[in-house]
Amino acid sequence: MDRLHQLQEGADPLDLEAAQLEVEAARLSLEKARSDLENATLVAPFDGVVAAVNVAVGENVAVGAPAVRLVNSSSFHLSVTVDEIDVARLEVGLPAEITVDALPDLTLTGTVERIGPAATLEEGAVAYPVVIALDPTDAPLRAGMSATAVILVEELTDQLIIPNWVVRVDQTTGQPYVYRRTADGGLERVDVRLGIRYEGYSQVLEGLEEGDVLVLVREETGGLFGGSRR
């Protein structure tokens, strides 16, 4: 009769509340277990190649420590340094031509993406870090390859250029000059104003004309020395 009476009256409210709390606790534990399981799987934020694995099974890993280093094989960047004399002429967006040491017969293209605001000192020279974003390519590039970049500051056409080895500089005034062949076969010194220099050549802004014949003259210098008289 007591059992029948309990069934007719229903569950005790306190027991029902306790059971509901146990169910909620179990639900929260299940959600946490599912979350832990999801977090146990590393998901790369982009497609790429695993360059290094920094952890092993059974190791204790510090919070925030990188477990894997990925390389985005579809997007490469080149870090270079530019001399302080030239960096003022650079700006983000300028095109660049890149040659990779491992692929000498291939010229890649890219764009200046970032110019460092602070200088670095390399072998006693002040330079600025510059990052170049390479255009998409099917070339077999690998992270860490050495490369050289030529940043195209300005494209000139129909310009008068001369090789740098014919240019001399006056040690007193700093004036650049060359020696030109005259109509009678002699030589004359001609002061010139130069512009852009690139790959062993200089742009001539003033002083020469197309067709002028330049001659490399070896200039000898000497100094006074003491002597004795008998």
pLDDT tens digits, residue range 42-55?
777 777 777 778 78
- The dihedrals phi and psi of 62, each to the nearest 5 degrees, come to -70, 150
Compute the distance between CA of residue 180 and CA of residue 3 in angstroms, rounded to an integer. Answer: 125
pLDDT tens digits, residue range 14-47?
777 777 888 888 888 888 888 877 777 777 777 7
User: Residue 101: is its pLDDT beyond 50?
Assistant: yes
Asked if 110 and 148 count as a contact pair (C-beta separation under 8 A), the reply is: no
Asked if 192 and 207 count as a contact pair (C-beta separation under 8 A), the reply is: yes
Predicted local distance difference test score (pLDDT) of residue 146: 92
pTM of the model: 0.52
Asked if 39 and 33 count as a contact pair (C-beta separation under 8 A), the reply is: no
Asked if 71 and 51 count as a contact pair (C-beta separation under 8 A), the reply is: yes
State the sign of the Cα–Cα–Cα–Cα dihedral 182, 187, 190, 196: positive
Compute the distance between CA of residue 179 and CA of residue 159 in angstroms, rounded to an integer. Answer: 20
- Cross-strand partners of 197: 202
Read off the amino acid at residue 57: V
Comparing 68-77, 99-108, 204-213, which segment has the lowest mean pLDDT?
68-77
Going by pLDDT thresholds of 50, 70 and 90, the confidence category of residue 6 is low
Predicted local distance difference test score (pLDDT) of residue 230: 43
pLDDT tens digits, residue range 139-192?
888 888 899 999 988 777 788 989 999 999 998 898 999 999 998 989 999 999
User: Residue 220: is its pLDDT beyond 70?
Assistant: no
Which DSSP state fits 25?
A: H
Going by pLDDT thresholds of 50, 70 and 90, the confidence category of residue 223 is low
Q: Which whole number is the average pLDDT over 192-205?
A: 86
